[in-house]
Amino acid sequence: MSADRPLRVLFLCTGNSARSQIAEVLLRHFSRNRVEVFSAGTAPQREVHPMVRETLKALGIKAPPLTPKSMGRFVGQHFDYVITLCDEAADTCPIFPGEPEQLHWSFQDPAAVNDANARRRAFAQVANGLAGRIREWMSLPSIRNRIDPGEPS
């Protein structure tokens, strides 16, 4: 990790239609765009699940245009952290140059929930869980110092 460039993070899940999209938007929001953050899927869906925008809006966050992307688009790129959000992504995660730190935060896929009310709750639970995990991770001195170098540890 070089302190002279922004921290680069890649979130991976299977479809890149829910969990990793939410994580990407949350980290960008919480870091005030001080982190270069991306998301991708091992088998990307055609579109982002519509509940993603609704869930982020409920958190007071306006999502930019979102589209699912294949992790193949990012192979060969350098990242400081690659964070997998499901077991399948962890099992198929490629090797990235520069030996990024790999973290695994397993979350159930809220898009896989069939009942509409239960799906809404599942999206909220995943978003809240990701928000907590991201804030906790950002509070680590090594991360905090990269994001806010002027802030005391």
Choice among 7, 9, 12, 13 that is catalytic: 13
CATH of the domain at 141: 3.40.50.2300
pLDDT of residue 95: 80
**71 and 41 Cβ atoms separated by less than 8 Å:** yes
Q: Is residue 2 part of a domain?
A: no
**Domains in the chain, number:** 1
At 134-146, the pLDDT tens digits run 999 999 999 998 8
Q: Which residues of the chain have pLDDT under 70?
A: 1-3, 149-153
Which of 103, 99, 136, 111 shows the shortest CA–CA distance to 14? 111
Choice among 18, 23, 56, 86 that is catalytic: 86
pLDDT of residue 153: 47
pLDDT of residue 2: 53
Range of the domain at 85: 7-147
pLDDT of residue 93: 81
Choice among 43, 59, 61, 93 that is catalytic: 93
Active-site residue, 98 included: no
Q: Is residue 1 part of a domain?
A: no
Which of 149, 129, 152, 134 shows the shortest CA–CA distance to 37? 134
Active-site residue, 13 included: yes
Q: Is residue 23 part of a domain?
A: yes
Residue 119, SS3 per DSSP: helix
Active-site residue, 81 included: no
Q: Is residue 152 part of a domain?
A: no
CA angle (74, 87, 43) in 5-degree steps: 45
